[in-house]
């Protein structure tokens, strides 16, 4: 994947997850699981779709997390009349580690890590996404935060 595509995919896909989760009461891992001490996404994240509340490069993004260890990131073109059209979809493999969930596109290396900062089930999701690429790490040393709103069906938030 090209560098530009990685940045775009990372930003739109960041469309994705938190370590301490003090504000949500969630645990970053299963505390009784000493063998497999990996970060786990909260179960409520798998319900429905999460529409990004801010546009990205003239497009709106929607994320759907799946229990099979994948996420689908949909991009939409929004029009002034309120209509929208799906422009693209990317599939990512979710790769949990000790502190976050890695995002992997096809068979390429994990390019970013996501953590849940806040989750109000079927309402709001805030994710922090950090990047593996040294240039992106330098540009975003604390990662980027993305806010989403819950949608029961695949529908973007089109703000023009």
In tens digits, the chain (160 residues) has pLDDT values of 443 334 444 443 443 332 222 233 333 334 434 446 789 999 999 999 999 998 777 789 999 999 999 999 999 999 888 899 999 999 999 999 999 999 999 999 999 999 999 999 999 999 999 998 899 899 999 999 999 999 999 999 987 5
Q: What is the pLDDT of residue 56?
A: 74
What are the residue ranges of helices labelled H in the chain? 3-13, 134-139
Tell whether pTM > 0.85.
no
Nearest 10 degrees: CA dihedral of 133, 96, 8, 77? 180
d(CA 34, CA 31): 7
Tokens, residue 144: 């980027």
């Amino acid at each position: 994947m090209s560098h530009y595509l990685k940045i775009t995919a990372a930003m739109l896909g960041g469309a994705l997850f938190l370590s301490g989760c003090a504000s949500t009461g969630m645990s970053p891992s299963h505390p009784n699981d000493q063998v497999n001490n990996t970060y786990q996404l909260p179960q409520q994240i798998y319900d429905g779709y999460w529409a990004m509340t801010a546009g990205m490069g003239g497009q709106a993004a929607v994320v759907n997390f799946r229990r099979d260890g994948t996420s689908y990131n949909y991009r939409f073109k929004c029009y002034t009349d309120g209509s929208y059209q799906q422009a693209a979809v990317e599939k990512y493999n979710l790769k949990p580690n000790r502190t976050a969930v890695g995002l992997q596109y096809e068979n390429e290396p994990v390019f970013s890590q996501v953590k849940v900062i806040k989750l109000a089930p079927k309402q709001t999701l805030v994710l922090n996404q950090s990047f593996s690429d040294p240039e992106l790490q330098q540009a975003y040393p604390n990662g980027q935060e993305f806010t989403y709103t819950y949608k029961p069906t695949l529908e973007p938030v089109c703000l023009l």
